[in-house]
Structure 1
Amino acid sequence: MTVVLAGVGADTTNLGALAPLYDDGRFEYVPIPEKNPDTDETETLGSWDLRATDGTAADLTNRIAPQPIGDADRTVAGDALESWPLHRDPNFAALTYGEHRTSGYVERLRALEPGDVVGFYTGLRRPGGDRAHRYLIGYFTVDRVDVVDPDQPRADREAILAAHPDNAHTKRARDGDLYLEKPVVLIDGREPGGLFDRHPIRLSDYYTKPGNERSQYYLREEIATEWAVRAGGENMMYKPAYRCALSGAAFRRRVGRPGDRTADRARLDTEDAAETTD
């Protein structure tokens, strides 16, 4: 039994901005813009309502530069920005998540079993201009894990994708062909799970390590200890996948249920700190 933490959501590299974290503990979750408009996803930057204001995700930026294969110089602005589709991954409403990133992601996610947990973190910034940080914003309990591989027969790929109809990778696949020629892990979840309503948990610190010239984001030592992080490293700059030697039940007890958030839940709960799965 284990927990994997995955870095998700729009940031300065794909949206040109970070989603805000408000003083009352509410925050915005904005999926990354899709790399290619050829998707069955109906949510767009202009239709994605912000939770704490009257705006939409399109109000957070004035242009994006999606980088589909062979079109690295494309810039999208104006009306085209409003109608540009989102890569809704994870989809907290449907409790589904897909991933093709290497550097530990596919390896750690494909090893998850029913009852394990996949947690999601993203970069958030307070509107007043305080230092941005990485925050845990939600999770779900794993129900089913499949891997679709470009080397599989087309019929097998189509069957796996059909079993995950709400997944963003299914929505941009065409006739069983994946957007990228890479294996994709498809995870469907079940409750307890979902997007936090407020009070995300800060995972990062920002400082200059001895011998380095620049400050960077690092995983908080308290998180690494209390959540028994066993893989992923210290540096959070490129959103690594973290594997935690906790059971799903122990993680849920420490973090709480997504729809029942208090300010105390944003702080670490050290109860059952010794309960690991090593």
Structure 2
Amino acid sequence: MTVVLAGIGADSTNVGALAPLYDDGRFEYVPIPEKTRETREAATLGSWSLRHGDGVAADLTTRIRPRPGDGQLGAVTGSELESWPLHRDPNFETLTYGEHRPGYVRLLRSLEPGDAVGFYAGLRRPSGDRAHRYLIGYFTVTAVDELTPDIDVEERERLLEAHSTNAHAKRAREGELYHAEKPVVLVDGRVPGRLFDRDPIRLSDYYVKTGNQRAQYYLRESIAEAFSIVSGGTNMMYKPAYECALSGEAFRDLVENADRRMIGVDTERND
């Protein structure tokens, strides 16, 4: 039994902004933009309403880079921006999540029913205070399937149908994944599991390590201890996946029932 912490959500590389964390502890979850318009996902930057603020996701930025570093697509601006689809991954309504990043695939493929996936994202306070990485939600694992490049076509189509609300399944075409050359892991979940209503748990500190030339985001020591993190490193700059050597039950109890102030929630706020 184990837990994986996964970095998700809009950030400066793809949306040019972070979702806000308000002074009363409420926050926004904004998925990353989809890499292609060819998807069954109906949610767009222009239709994704902010949970607690005014407006929609498109109001947070003036340009997005759906495929950072891709010179062919480049930036999306103007009228195209609002209609651009979101890569809703994880989907907190249907509790499903998919990944193709190798470090993530390696950890996610080993999950079993009853384990958990926790999701963290970068959030910034409107006052302009330092942004941080925050645990914003989780779900309990029910099923894990891996689609490899050499998988039988009929089996691939069966698995995509079984995970039909997953963002990777929604952008598949004629049974072919967008990242056809890479293994993709699809994880379905159940409750206990949710997007937190407020008070996300801060995972990061921002400082200069001895010998470093610039400050970066590092995993807080209190978090590493509380979650029994055994792999993933300490540098959080590029959203690594973390493996936690505690049971799904222990993780759920920690984030739902324990004194969350001990594991990093920002408690100073204006209610």
Structure-2-length-normalised TM-score: 0.94
RMSD: 1.6
Name 1:237's counterpart in structure 2.
Answer: 237
Indicate if the aligned counterparts of 1:202 and 1:266 stay in contact, CA closer than 8 A: no
Partner residue, 1:268: 263
Residue 95 of structure 1, CA deviation: 0.2
Aligned to 2:250: 250
Match of 1:154 in 2: 153
CA distance in 2, matches of 1:267, 1:15: 32
- Maintained 8 Å contact 2:139/2:192: yes
Alignment pair present for 1:168 and 2:163: no
CA contact (8 A) 2:14 2:68 kept: no
> For 2:222 and 2:194, how far apart are their aligned partners in 1?
24
**Structure 1 residues 70, 13: CA separation in 2 closer, same or farther (over 3 Å shift)?**
closer
CA distance in 1, matches of 2:49, 2:260: 25
1:141–1:248 Cα contact (<8 Å) kept:
yes
Task: List aligned pairs for 1:1-278, cutoff 5 A.
Answer: 1-67=1-67, 72-102=72-102, 104-180=103-179, 181-256=181-256, 265-268=260-263
Q: Partner of 2:80: helix, strand, or coil?
A: helix
Please state how far the C-alpha of 1:266 moved relative to its aligned partner. Answer: 4.9
Q: Which runs of 5+ in 2 are unaligned?
A: 265-271
CA distance in 2, matches of 1:177, 1:76: 25
> What percentage of residue pairs aligned between the two structures are identical?
69
Residues 36, 68 of structure 1: 8 Å contact kept: no
Code of the aligned partner of 1:160? L
Q: Is the 8 A contact 2:13 2:68 kept in 1?
A: no
For this pair of structures, how many residues does the alignment match?
A: 263
Q: 1:169-224 CA deviation, whole Å, 9 max, x = no partner?
A: 00000111110121110000000001000000000001001111111100000011
Tell me which amino acid in the other structure corresponds to 1:172: R
Cα distance in 1, alignment partners of residues 225 and 219 from structure 2: 10
How many angstroms does 1:54 deviate by?
2.2
Cα separation, 1, equivalents of 2:144 and 2:216? 33
For residues 107-140 of structure 1, what are the alpha-carbon distances to aligned partners after superposition, in whole Å with 9 as ceiling and x for unaligned? Answer: 1000000000000000000000000000000000
Distance 2:174 2:87 in 1: 19
Whether the aligned pair in 2 keeps the contact of 1:199 and 1:265 (CA below 8 Å) is no
Look up the match of 2:269: none
Q: TM-score, normalised by structure 1?
A: 0.91
How far apart are 1:72 and its partner, in Å? 3.3
- Structure 2 Cα separation of the partners of residues 266 and 240 of structure 1: 24
